[in-house]
Amino acid sequence: MAEKVVIKEVAARDGLQAQPKHLTVEQRIALLGALVETGVSELEIGSFVSPKAVPQMAGTDEIAANLPPAQLAYSALVPNMKGYELAVRAGIRSHAIALAATEEMNQNNIRKGLEDTFTMGEEILDRAAAEGVDIHAYLAVAFECPYEGAVEESLVLEQVDRLMQHQPARLMIADTIGAANPAAVHSMMRKLVDRYGSERLGCHFHDTRAMGLANVYAALQAGVRQFDASAGGLGGCPFAPGAKGNVATEDVVMLCESIGYDTGLNMPKLLEAVALLSDMIGAPQGGRAHTWLSKQCA
Ligand code: COA
Ligand code: ZN
């Protein structure tokens, strides 16, 4: 039996949150329906954030109330305790919280300093543990910050140690602006896997510098088996200048399956979801292997 790689599909959140074209709630629900069809086991539906800060994610509560019935883990991003409460009220029991490794990134993203962000993160983690809610804690800009530059590995390791004391269901190392390289990824993830095992760790890569897949491979070699990816490679953070799309789900599936892992995703269905997304956005989307994959599936 092939070893499993778990993919969390983030096109409906990271994919859409920085798009100049704002999709309607109905379109976002239709997109989620197409993504469910791909067979993905984890699907992020949107964010419970201030609609003033990220208008693209307004109406995520309505989306939560109209999710396609499916046997998979739906999750949402929450930036603070208010978002946590809104998500729980909407019936979402798996949340992503994003804590950036640097002062400036936290200030720009959620208007809080580094220490306040971590204190808030710990409060959310402790409350979620008591209430049986799963939290995936993201350490954002874990390799490079768009405001402060390179981030030291030793700092990230310390921050992970701090967060792990509050038992996140998963700790995600996020290369928010796509500045990591495979050597840095392998070095960091090997140390973390040695310390915490691979079950509670995952990686979130952007493909800004064409190293997205190489970074996924480096993380796989280090023992990581959980990855975020976005159908069509759509993505970016509105508060991280220079961040391009996430590593494309179809590219990650292709890589993993070609070297013997099982992702459980259906490639033709995934390409259908990418086509729908392209229609909705009004511009062609697709990962680096899009042309080849489309020919294979034709
Ligand atoms: N969802 C919806 N509304 C929220 C909210 C949330 N999670 N948190 C705060 N608000 C509302 C408040 O109720 C308040 O509303 P009012 O003006 O009608 O009274 C308003 O937002 C301001 O509240 P405040 O706590 O002062 O927030 P802020 O202005 O300091 O903004 C965040 C902080 C976190 C809400 C905002 O920066 C944000 O939503 N950031 C999103 C970041 C993001 O999604 N980044 C990309 C992914 S990492
Ligand atoms: Zn991202």
* Confidence at residue 173, expressed as pLDDT on a 0 to 100 scale: 99
Strand partners, 178: none
Active site residue 203: no
Q: What residues of the chain score a pLDDT lower than 50?
A: none
* Confidence at residue 135, expressed as pLDDT on a 0 to 100 scale: 98
Sign of CA dihedral 127, 132, 138, 139: positive
82 assigned to some structural domain: yes
**CB-based contacts of 26: which residues, under 8 Å, 6+ apart?**
none
Give the chain's domain count.
Answer: 1
**What residues line ligand 1, using a CB cutoff of 6 Å?**
17, 47-50, 53-54, 77, 79-80, 82-83, 86, 98, 109-111, 237, 239
* Confidence at residue 242, expressed as pLDDT on a 0 to 100 scale: 83
The residue segments making up the domain with residue 142 are: 6-297
* Confidence at residue 210, expressed as pLDDT on a 0 to 100 scale: 95
- Which ligand sits nearest to residue 212's alpha carbon? 2
Q: Using alpha carbons, list the distances in angstroms from residue 225 to 199, 213, 271.
A: 8, 14, 23
Q: pLDDT tens digits for 110-143? A: 999 999 999 999 999 999 999 999 999 999 999 9
1 assigned to some structural domain: no
174 assigned to some structural domain: yes
* Confidence at residue 240, expressed as pLDDT on a 0 to 100 scale: 92
* Confidence at residue 243, expressed as pLDDT on a 0 to 100 scale: 84
Domain containing residue 111: CATH number: 3.20.20.70
**CB-based contacts of 291: which residues, under 8 Å, 6+ apart?**
none
pTM above 0.95, yes or no: yes
**CB-based contacts of 144: which residues, under 8 Å, 6+ apart?**
150, 151, 175, 177, 179, 180
76 assigned to some structural domain: yes
